[in-house]
Amino acid sequence: MNKPKIALTIAGTDPTGGAGVMADLKSFHSCGVYGMAAITSIVAQNTMGVQHIHNLELDWLQEQLDSVFDDELPHAIKTGMIASEDMMKLIRQYLERYPDIPYVIDPVMLAKSGDSLMDDQAKGNLQNILLPLADVATPNLPEAEEIVGMKIESEDDVYKAGHIFIDEIGSKGVVIKGGHATSRTHAKDYLFTRDDVYTFESPRYDTKHTHGTGCTFSAVIAAELAKGRTIYEAVKKAKDFIALSIKYTPEIGQGHGPVNHFAYMKKEGLDDE
């Protein structure tokens, strides 16, 4: 039996399972990839919002990462919630030590409820510390605006922002997600690489249950890169995956419920339940 491909997520928690490392691990599993996780922050949150955040001490994060990298190297790395600049600098050391491992960054700044998950200093240094090492970055429109320092109100603005990520910041690829755009019928995402620009569209579903979409989308990209897929192939799979996850939400919680991390498995006939 061949050893499985491994994806490592470095992010915060969600005790209700819809976002953070919990969502990442479910997404890895649904893609047939073995998931590992290192925790940056313990977050008390549910579908109605974030109640408390406890950022782990830097030594605790380093001990977790050392435990992973001293034993078995992952085939892809994904980061989500990184609360401080010091955490970013620590993670960068591992990324620089293993430059051939694909790296996906979900530059998560706000929870679905609007609660801030990153301090202002970290926001300001994200583009200098981690984004230049990214194979794929996956900001939504508000996050992209924060990073590039401009309003994104038109398709021309999206293209300007995408080229800033590639040409100025240095990311190999970036997906600017259109879920926050004004179209009521379709969600359009833009993938910029150093060679080309691609667009992906899916129907927009009338649901409030979209908690964890960003975590899930980026986790699928990481899982597919771990399997040796190209950036285009990984993003295309992630777009199909997240569309089904939103279409068939499990209707959990009193607020913005989670997406269905196993909808794609059912489509592919990998889950008989």
Catalytic residue list: 177, 210, 212-215
Q: Which two tokens stand for residue 117?
A: 């998950």
Q: What share of the chain is helix, strand, coil (3-state, %, to 5)?
A: 40, 20, 40
Q: Which two tokens stand for residue 58?
A: 């830097």
Cα separation, 56 vs 182, whole angstroms:
37
Contact 80, 20 (CB under 8 A): yes
Q: Which two tokens stand for residue 203?
A: 């129907």
Query: CB within 8 A of 258, min separation 6: which ones?
Result: 16, 17, 18, 19, 23, 47, 209, 211, 212, 249, 250, 252
Torsion of CA 55, 208, 146, 106, to 10 degrees: 60
| H/E run at residue 174 | strand 173-176
